[in-house]
Amino acid sequence: MALDGKPDVQSLSFDLSSRELRVVHTGEAASVVALLEPLRLGARIKDSVPMESDAGGVTYRSMFSVPKMDCPSEERLIRMALQDRGDVRSLSFDLSQRELAVVHQGDVEGILSRLQPLGLGAVLNGSPTVVSGQAAAQSQTDDAGEAKTLRLLLAINAVMFVFELTLGLWAQSTGLIADSLDMFADAAVYGLALYAVGKAASMKVRAAHLAGWLQLLLALGALAEVVRRFVVGSEPESALMVGVGLVALVANAACLVLIAKKRDSGVHMKASYIFSANDVIANIGVIVAGGLVAWTASPYPDLVIGTIIGIVVLNGARRILKLS
C-alpha cells in the first residue's frame, strides 16, 4: 500500500523467508526507500542494478476481473495459460477482490483469448493503462521456504490419496473414494507447481494435461462407482468411514497449519490456505455422512457425499484440460 500508485514502481516481488523485496522501478532507489522507512520495518537498500530496457513497444497494465478465481489450481491455470506469451511481463493476483493485473506489451485481446477458455469468467476491467519507463519483469526467483512447504503438502496428500482410496474400496464407501480423489487433485496441484519450475511452457502444459486426464478418469470412475452401488446396493461401513474421515481431517488440518505459516508469502499460498480449508469441510462432510449411515442404516448419505465430491473433482479436471 505504501508503494501503491507510485508511477515509477512497476512490480514488486516478495521473498518472505529471506525478508527481501525486489522492486522494478525507474528513478532513484532512494525515493522508494523513503516511502518504506515510515513503516518501521527496517527497510534498506541491499542492492540496486540497472535492467535492460524493452526492445521497443508500449507497455500496458491491464486489469481483469476473474470472479471464479478462488483456489490455487485456478491461479496456476492462469499462470500456465499465459506462460508462453513473450509479451507478458508480470502477473499480480488479488484473490480477495478476484482480480488479476497483467503488465504486457501487444494487444490485450490476445491475453483475454487465453483467459476466457478457462471458464473463470475473466473480463477486462476498463482500458489498459500505459506503464511509463521500463516494463515490469516477472520474477523467477524460487522461494525455498514455500517449495519446502509444497513438498510436505504433496507428500501428505499423496499418502492420504492411497490410504483413503484403499480403505474406501474396502469399506464400500463412495464418499471416502471420492474424497481420496480430492486428495489426488490437491497433490496434482502441488506436484505440478513443483515440477513446472524451470521447465519450458510447452512442458508445463503437457504436465497439466497429464494430471487433468488422470484426474478426469478417476472422477469418472468414482461417479460410475456411485451409480453402480446405487443400482446393486451397498453396505458402507459407517465406523470405518468415520475413522478414516477423522484421519483425513487431521491430515488436512496439518496442511492448513503448514499453509497458514506461509499464506502471507504470496497469493498462491493464500489461495492454497483457502483450498485446504475447503478440504477440511469436505472431510467433515464424510464424517457426518458416516454418522448418518449409522443412524439411518441407509447408504444414501454416503452416495450423496460421493456424488458431490466426484463432481467437484471432475470440474477441476475440465478446467485443467482447457489449457492450450
First to last CA, the chain: 35
Q: 194: number of CA atoms within 13 Å, CB side? A: 17
The per-residue pLDDT for 205 is 59
Structure confidence at residue 267 (pLDDT): 45
Closest-CA residue to 226 (of 291, 298, 297, 305): 305
Which amino acid would we find at residue 122?
A: A
Q: How confident is the model at residue 64, as a pLDDT?
A: 92
Alpha helices (H) in the chain, listed in sequence order: 29-36, 72-82, 108-115, 144-170, 174-195, 201-232, 238-260, 267-296, 300-321
Q: pLDDT tens digits for the chain (324 residues)?
A: 788 667 677 777 776 666 888 887 777 787 888 888 888 888 888 877 665 444 456 778 888 999 888 766 677 778 778 877 777 877 777 767 788 888 887 788 889 888 988 888 899 987 777 765 443 443 333 345 566 777 788 888 888 888 888 888 888 787 777 778 777 777 776 676 566 544 444 555 566 677 667 777 877 877 887 888 888 777 777 788 888 889 888 988 888 887 776 665 544 455 456 556 667 777 888 888 888 888 988 888 888 887 887 787 777 667 667 655
Nearest 5°: the CA angle 270, 217, 288 is: 60
Q: Please tell me the predicted confidence (pLDDT) of residue 136.
A: 40
What per-residue confidence (pLDDT) applies to 318? 75
Q: How many CB atoms lie within 10 A of CB 295?
A: 10
What is the per-residue pLDDT for 304? 86
Neighbouring CB atoms inside 10 A of 235's CB total: 12
